[in-house]
Chains A and B, each alone.
Chain A
Amino acid sequence: MSQFTKNYVLPTRRNALKLLSGGGLALAASSTMPGVTRFAQAQSSEPIRIGFQIHRTGIGAAYGRWYDRTTQAAVKRMNDAGGINGRMVEIIAEDDGTDPKRGAEVVEKFATQQQCDVAFGTLFSHVVIGSAPRAGELKIPYFVVSEGHHVASGILNRYTLQPGITDVKSQVEAMAPFVSTNLGKKVAMIYPDFAFGHDHRDYFTAALAKNGGEVIAQIAIPPTETSFTKYFPKIPQQTEVLYHVMVGPAVLTFVKELGEFFGSNHPEIFGFIDSLEAVDIQSPGLEFLEGTYFWEGNPRYVQNNQTSHDKMYRTAVGVDESGASVSDSRDISTYAHMFGCWETLNIIKAGMEMSDYQGPQHRSRLIEAVEDMTDIPLSDDHPQGAKIFNGKTHQVFGHQYISKVENGRMVLAHTTSIEDTFYPDETDYTTQPF
């Protein structure tokens, strides 16, 4: 058992509100607790203003479009159900240009000019790291949806939380048991030679060793590389599993050349869907991926055991059974990541209702309420799956999905336990004063 679970203590404060921390009841709360609603309406008829820091332009724009779509759908659902504490929710969207400096300016604008209650939404890690200190200075809760390990690592502050999406460290480490048990013990890793690739290299190598496996080759590819054939001979003969995490415009070339190199006689292949997020897995040149495995934050294709929650979520966001837009089957969503916006907004709602949030003077109460959250059950509010929030590290932990490409579709092959994703706490933000 990890240190996380040892350290985890069910909060005793606000036990009366504990049930609400289960997101499944969050929406119901606004309609089934008329007292709370009436009180809130008496306090203010102003909308709850959520500053949405969005990658409209810059390198994150493709993700920003789907983050926006998911956010708008989540807020519509909330408002249709009565809003938060009886108040409507208003999204104030500001483009950060996927730029850390602008990100900090946007957070400042939310806090000082636009009277936002909270800031929300950021994806790219460098923007989060650039913006979080300003959120801390201005004492505005900053809910990020970035997957980065920066929140749980302790380098940020008490005002920054990541309650709607798991972090990369837990994702990568949770893959090791499945890989070593089902695919093979001897793994060769191919990764881009910069921090993102190094994360995977370091987290996975250590996790695999704990699970009785061994990374027998670490092949770093220069970020500007656009042809990969010359690197493939470095893959050792005895390799049982090839782990790849290539990103950028040359990914498709990478897959095509990998297929040309190996043909039908290849080791098991495991990758992260980040490489092919928003790309149709049936695209020409990707045939080689048939039979290979991918991590998915949320399964893109509808599975046999689809939950009613996933069905509701897809309908609300406008995504079909293949993870594409209902208006254009070629427009594949960033399904593995964008649920984070939906779930984070529902955490904000639950936190505001638990803390009887009335305005910026209650921001610290809101953060304490979220810190007190623990079990988050699978629900319409949390369609990706059940989760456990760690109030000390401000990071949520949840199931990870491993899919196998079969007949051009990604079919769920394994779901990790939440416990598989735990690692020892690296910080305790609750010791920081507001």
Chain B
Amino acid sequence: MKKLTRIGNHIGRQVVSAILAIILVAYPLRSFAHPSEQGFVLLLPTDFYIATGIATVALTAAALARLPTTTITFLFSNRTFVGLRHHSWMPTLSSFCSTLVLVVLILIGLSGSGDPLSNPLSLVIWTVWWTALLFLQGILGDLWKWINPWTGIYDLCIGSNANTPLKLPDRLGNSVGLCGLILFFAFTLADPAPDYPPRLALVTALYWMATFIGMCLFGRDPWLSRCECFTMLFRLFALISGIRTTKGTCHVGFPGWQIVTSRKSSFSVFALTALAAGSFDGMNETFWWLSQIGVNPLEFPGRSAVIGQTIGGMIGAIILLHCLFALCIATGQYLVRKHTGGPLPISFSLAFGRLALSVLPIALGYHFAHYLPAFLVNSQYLVAATNDPLTRGADLFGLGVFYVTTGFFYTQDTVRVILLTQCVAIVIGHMIAVLTAHLIALGLYGTNRQAILSQIPMAVFMILYTLLSLWLLAAPRGA
């Protein structure tokens, strides 16, 4: 009987929901969408900024065709310095501390405030870890090996060289990590409440446990390097940095030199997926996209109303980027073959695999630009949350009344500075991408002329991507 009642209630709720949906569509809604910083952006000469950005990237590509090979190679060579020595237990300790911090954050996420801008879990995960740390990883090198929450506790409990019961099948390649990355982006883009503290705490805890179990079953390094999407992503971003430290030595070079020397061609799909999904995170807020899915941008119905469209758009963006990139590689190969008249020195798959990593600086530049406004606001909330982590009225650091401000979004001068900073980050990312792609092509094809020919379609791709990235910053947004 109780079950019948429950079913009845469930049906009743569905009916109510259906009626509500009709009312929501038919009933006039009060709209409060106000201009925000985007209103000031629309008043700025964004067309000029976009044109300048495109011209800069185009000139970079053109200059490469003129510069002697030795000059470019010299630019990307690295210098070796004696680095700071550290004991092998130090990363273990720091990683273990990171685990402890994560556990505390998860507990606060489960039991603390349901307000994502007051709960430290949401702020640390999205503002510190995802926004700031991923960016710093691309600038300073591999910080993740110090602060990931798995290796420390694994080494202490299991042992870094412990035998594992299972071997990760080679045929899986990086597919598990790739699926993880896509699921992560689906969560951030399409889930109705990815920053809701209890939900985020649960997802974080489950992912942490799944990863730890995977490490125990298949081994620490195989699992982290092929199945744990964040270690994979962070390690890829570390390649963008001009700094690399290994066992007491520090290699310093032009940003991107590690991409040129890297042989991680099996990560090509992973890198392109990260770029495509990252770019879609921004596209999905534009008037253009909302119009495509039939949503009034001034009356956004909420994330829960567009879950399917968002996931579909993200998958579409990933597929489209792969197709376009493959087309660029194939066209480049065609131009080289037409020029040489003989067999190609390298296969399509090798060219695709190696050159795909050159998009990583674009992803980093876009990551910085896209998250900069949110970081400027949420970092203030982080300060407030640190002062009162349990939202019990504590004042641990004596901040007193602390007002978060967004005033910099409401004057034209500050909005201009923010927008130009974003534009510069994107253009620099694309310039480094053009340079690294050229250097990789030099290594692949052997001669400067063949490298230049192979890179003509790639240069067009980079210029168009500059246009897309800058347009995303300037476009009116409604979600």
> Which residues of A come within 8 Å of B, CB atoms?
54, 56-60, 62-63, 65, 69, 92-95, 97-102, 106, 109, 123-127, 129-130, 133, 137, 146-150, 155, 168, 192, 194-196, 198-199, 223-224, 226, 247-253, 256, 274-280, 283-285, 318, 324-332, 337
Residue in B closest to A153 when the chains form the complex, CB atoms: B27
Contact of B479 among A59, A275, A330 (CB under 8 A): A59
What are 9 A-B interface contacts by the 8 Å CB criterion? A100-B24, A129-B24, A224-B290, A247-B31, A249-B36, A249-B41, A274-B31, A276-B35, A283-B412
Contact in complex: B192, A99 (CB < 8 Å): yes
One digit per residue, 1 when the CB lies within 8 angstroms of any chain A CB and 0 when it does not, for chain B 43-64 equals: 1000000000000000000000
Residue in A closest to B477 when the chains form the complex, CB atoms: A249
Residue in A closest to B411 when the chains form the complex, CB atoms: A330
One digit per residue, 1 when the CB lies within 8 angstroms of any chain A CB and 0 when it does not, for chain B 281-298 equals: 000000100110000111
Contact in complex: A252, B39 (CB < 8 Å): yes
Contact of B305 among A101, A125, A256, A326 (CB under 8 A): A101
Contact in complex: A146, B30 (CB < 8 Å): yes
B405-447 interface with A by 8 A CB criterion: 405-408, 410-412, 414
Contact in complex: B299, A194 (CB < 8 Å): yes
Contact A318 B34, CB 8 Å, known A102-B193, A330-B408: no
Distance from A258 Cβ to chain B, minimum over Cβ atoms (Å): 13
Chain B residues whose C-beta falls within 8 Å of the C-beta of A60 in the assembled complex: 32
Taken together as a complex, chains A and B put the C-alpha atoms of A249 and B287 apart, in Å, by 10
Contact in complex: B114, A94 (CB < 8 Å): yes
Contact in complex: B35, A249 (CB < 8 Å): yes
Whether, in the assembled complex, B341 has its beta carbon less than 8 Å from a beta carbon of chain A, the answer is: no
Contact in complex: B23, A328 (CB < 8 Å): no
> Which residues of B come within 8 Å of A, CB atoms?
16, 20, 23-24, 27-36, 38-43, 113-118, 192-193, 195-196, 287, 290-291, 296-305, 391, 401, 403-408, 410-412, 414, 476-479
Contact in complex: B410, A283 (CB < 8 Å): yes
Q: Name the residue in B28, B300, B403 with the highest tally of chain A Cβ atoms < 10 Å from its Cβ.
A: B28
Taken together as a complex, chains A and B put the C-alpha atoms of A129 and B27 apart, in Å, by 9
Chain A residues whose C-beta falls within 8 Å of the C-beta of B193 in the assembled complex: 95, 97, 102
Contact in complex: A59, B300 (CB < 8 Å): yes
Contact of A124 among B32, B38, B39 (CB under 8 A): B32
Contact in complex: B30, A148 (CB < 8 Å): yes
Contact A328 B29, CB 8 Å, known A102-B302, A133-B20: no
Contact of B410 among A63, A133, A168, A278 (CB under 8 A): A278
Taken together as a complex, chains A and B put the C-alpha atoms of A277 and B36 apart, in Å, by 9
Contact in complex: B116, A58 (CB < 8 Å): no
Chain A residues whose C-beta falls within 8 Å of the C-beta of B401 in the assembled complex: 318
Taken together as a complex, chains A and B put the C-alpha atoms of A92 and B303 apart, in Å, by 23
Chain B residues whose C-beta falls within 8 Å of the C-beta of A95 in the assembled complex: 114-117, 193, 195-196
Contact in complex: A57, B116 (CB < 8 Å): yes
Distance from B387 Cβ to chain A, minimum over Cβ atoms (Å): 14
Chain B residues whose C-beta falls within 8 Å of the C-beta of A331 in the assembled complex: 403, 405-407, 410
Contact of A126 among B39, B301, B408 (CB under 8 A): B301
Chain A residues whose C-beta falls within 8 Å of the C-beta of B41 in the assembled complex: 249
Contact in complex: B303, A97 (CB < 8 Å): yes
Residue in B closest to A192 when the chains form the complex, CB atoms: B298
Contact in complex: A252, B35 (CB < 8 Å): yes
Contact in complex: A328, B405 (CB < 8 Å): yes
Contact of B39 among A93, A149, A199, A251 (CB under 8 A): A251
Chain B residues whose C-beta falls within 8 Å of the C-beta of A248 in the assembled complex: 33-35, 297-298, 476, 478
Residue in B closest to A59 when the chains form the complex, CB atoms: B300
Contact of B407 among A57, A100, A328 (CB under 8 A): A328
Chain A residues whose C-beta falls within 8 Å of the C-beta of B35 in the assembled complex: 248-252, 275-276, 278-279
Taken together as a complex, chains A and B put the C-alpha atoms of A226 and B410 apart, in Å, by 19
Taken together as a complex, chains A and B put the C-alpha atoms of A146 and B27 apart, in Å, by 14
Contact in complex: A58, B414 (CB < 8 Å): no
Contact in complex: B407, A325 (CB < 8 Å): yes
Taken together as a complex, chains A and B put the C-alpha atoms of A330 and B391 apart, in Å, by 27
Chain B residues whose C-beta falls within 8 Å of the C-beta of A326 in the assembled complex: 403
* Given A194-B299, A196-B31, A250-B35, 7 additional A-B pairs, CB 8 A: A98-B302, A99-B305, A102-B193, A248-B34, A249-B478, A280-B410, A331-B405
Taken together as a complex, chains A and B put the C-alpha atoms of A97 and B115 apart, in Å, by 10
Taken together as a complex, chains A and B put the C-alpha atoms of A133 and B192 apart, in Å, by 20
Contact in complex: B296, A93 (CB < 8 Å): no
Chain A residues whose C-beta falls within 8 Å of the C-beta of B410 in the assembled complex: 278-280, 283, 330-332
Chain A residues whose C-beta falls within 8 Å of the C-beta of B196 in the assembled complex: 95, 97
Residue in B closest to A337 when the chains form the complex, CB atoms: B32
Contact A63 B32, CB 8 Å, known A129-B20, A253-B42: yes
Taken together as a complex, chains A and B put the C-alpha atoms of A100 and B29 apart, in Å, by 12
Distance from A144 Cβ to chain B, minimum over Cβ atoms (Å): 11
